[in-house]
Structure 1
Amino acid sequence: MDFQTYFELNQLYARYARALDAADWEAWPEFFIDHCVYKLQPRENHERGFPLATLAFDSKGMLKDRVYGIRETLFHDPYYQRHVVGVPLAHKVDADGRIHCEANYAVLRTRLSKESTVFNVGRTLDEVVPTPEGLKFASRLVVYDSEMIPNSLIYPI
């Protein structure tokens, strides 16, 4: 992978985290291609090869539907989240430019008038593809370490 592509990959991860931290939910699906996969799965299920995931979406349309749910139908105590994302590790680049990569992450959550807490930690296993608009996720598997998720998982990771 050349330096420019690696720089763009780092920018993709940074812009993604920034959009989520800013609660820019409408921007979230735009980080993905139309026929994408986005899953959140506990580490135990992933390591055992079990398919059960906490959330599973298989198109940009489904991601947009989740945004609608966040904005219009889900009621919860508001909170802020802050993503701390490690430097992406590229494992392989296919001949068509598809990048197989991963990064560690931690999400901190702050409820109004309360202290910040660690909400979720793990790693993402990603496939990133070049598009005319720049690099985008074709697949994002979020493997979180803990089997316990406080309350319900509202916002994307």
Structure 2
Amino acid sequence: MMTVTRSRRKPVADINVVPYIDVMLVLLIIFMVTAPLITSGVNVELPKANAAPIDPESKPPIVASVDRDGQYYLSVNSDPNAPLSAEDLAVLVASHMQMDASNRIVVKGDGSVSYNQIVQLMVLLQRAGVPSVGLMTDGAAADNKPRR
């Protein structure tokens, strides 16, 4: 008589990870969609710092100013104390940049001017062809020299 011996199958200790991969992909998609929607604002007090002054032997920069009333001024204008419209300022800056592309432009804003007005002036200068803009500050020593 012949006996048939059956071999027992050994238990497999592998984990099926396919469902976990599916869950991870769904979570990844959810986070990718919701991350740009989350905006948070933090109230900060910006630091005060002393900046290195502009070299006195170099060509003086063109100073575009905005006062507390939101009026624009330009230091190279025939009358630097006369307010300019946004269009006039852009035309003057563009003409000076065409004459000498190495002109440096700095923005001088009144301390009570809103951040939005400074940004609008910087956008106006950018559209006039200014590649980069510096900001003027008053350092600890109030020498009122333009700073970068």
Question: What TM-score does the superposition give when structure 1 sets the normalisation length?
Answer: 0.19
Q: Which has the larger radius of gyration?
A: 2
Q: Which has the higher strand share?
A: 1
Question: What TM-score does the superposition give when structure 2 sets the normalisation length?
Answer: 0.20
